[in-house]
Amino acid sequence: MSQIGNNIKKLRKVKGLSQQAFADLFGLTRGNISSYEELRAEPKIEVMLQIAKYFSIPVAELLEKQLTVNEILNFEDHFIVEGEGMGTHRLTKIPFLDRDFFRQGAISEGRHDQLPTLLLPLESNSLLIAVENCSYLPHPSPFPFEENTILFFEQVKVDILHTLHDHIGFFEGESPFFGRYDVQGQNINLVLNDWKKEVFAPEEAYHFWKLFGKFERVL
């Protein structure tokens, strides 16, 4: 039995994409994605190839295997905090903002060199940061991630502005929060709720992050 529909649904949820946002990536409709996820139809082979290439997943695995979160994100079966005793060659250091960071009311102001570091077998051309979803951080309602989930974000740059709309983001300013991007023409807002949002400005870009993936830590 093909796993393509189940894997599309998991890919979409892990990446924080709505059905419409996922459809837009591949020139499809929200109805197409709904029919795939409900196993009422399967995408054409050229669409399967596009999805596999975009997410760097072998086509055979996309079709035949129920993908795990780790496989979707190209992570190993675990991650470690620097200093836990694993060899660090070929691992990327990612600054980690955990619940203790937010409980203490610490504000990084870009001083990521002072943060603990996660070590992951992950390559990216963008700056990355890891943030623990916890009760100290406001987030939109509904929010698709459980408490203690580690969310990975890439720093917003000019070349990804067109991909921001309806994506989950993180604001790392004086009052940090998780939000959802709203792009209207050249106006870009990261929205928490009807009363709070942050307006993206190039000179403040280092405060704005876009969801890259997640890792559900077993506690």
CATH code assigned at 52: 1.10.260.40
List Cα–Cα distances, 76 to 71, 95, 121, 128, 218, in angstroms: 8, 18, 7, 17, 14
Asked whether 210 and 166 are in contact (CB, 8 A), the reply is no
Same domain, 34 and 94: no
Same domain, 187 and 204: yes
Same domain, 62 and 119: no
Same domain, 168 and 202: yes
Inter-helix orientation angle 30-37/4-14, to 10°: 120
Same domain, 91 and 194: yes
Same domain, 151 and 53: no
For the chain, the residue count is 219
Gyration radius (Cα) of the chain, Å? 18
pLDDT tens digits along 87-122: 445 577 888 898 888 877 655 455 677 778 887 766
Same domain, 207 and 178: yes
Compute the distance between CA of residue 214 and CA of residue 145 in angstroms, rounded to an integer: 9
Q: List residues bridging with 179 in a β-sheet.
A: 169
The number of distinct structural domains making up the chain is 2
Same domain, 55 and 90: no
Same domain, 25 and 104: no
Same domain, 135 and 193: yes
Mean pLDDT per 10-residue interval, the chain, length 219 residues: 88 81 91 94 92 84 81 53 48 83 64 76 78 92 85 89 91 93 93 95 92 67
Same domain, 97 and 182: yes
Domain boundary among 31, 51, 72: 72
Q: Full-prediction pTM beyond 0.85?
A: no
Both tokens of residue 109? 């102001």
- Domain span at 9: 4-72
Compute the distance between CA of residue 126 and CA of residue 98 in angstroms, rounded to an integer: 21
| Cα 187 versus chain centre, distance | 22
Compute the distance between CA of residue 166 and CA of residue 16 in angstroms, rounded to an integer: 9
What pLDDT, on a 0 to 100 scale, did the predictor assign at position 27?
Answer: 92
Taking Cα atoms as reference points, which of 196, 190, 193, 194 lies closest to residue 210?
A: 190
Asked whether 17 and 167 are in contact (CB, 8 A), the reply is yes
Domain boundary among 72, 94, 127: 72
Same domain, 151 and 67: no
Q: How many CB atoms lie within 10 A of CB 13?
A: 17
Question: SS3 of 58, please?
Answer: coil
